[in-house]
Amino acid sequence: MNPSFYYVVTWREATDIRRKLTNLGAEYIVTSLPNGEVAFVFPDLPVRIYGSVRQIFGGDGLIFSDSSRII
């Protein structure tokens, strides 16, 4: 997967979000962060799916760059 953007959430939020993303059929990976949070990392997505992902997380994701150091 070629990462494009990501969201950072708490472990408490992660279970519900993972269920919603699986039901949506969105491609993603999940990784633990050193600060105890979780990052959901996504490739470029079709517009319809990206819109649904935005709704799940409540806004735009953070742009992934080589310096993001989350995966």
Which residues 6+ apart lie within 8 Å of 26 measured at CB?
42, 45, 49, 52, 53
Give the phi and the psi of residue 19 in degrees, each rounded to 5: -60, -45
- Report the pLDDT value the prediction gives residue 65, as an integer from 0 to 100: 84
What string of pLDDT tens digits covers the 71 residues of the chain? 899 999 999 999 999 999 999 999 999 999 999 999 999 999 999 999 999 999 999 999 999 887 666 76
Burial class (CB in 10 A: 0-12, 13-18, 19+), 9: middle
Closest CA to 5 of 53, 39, 43: 43
- Report the pLDDT value the prediction gives residue 70, as an integer from 0 to 100: 73
Q: Decide: 1 and 70 in contact? Cβ < 8 Å.
A: no
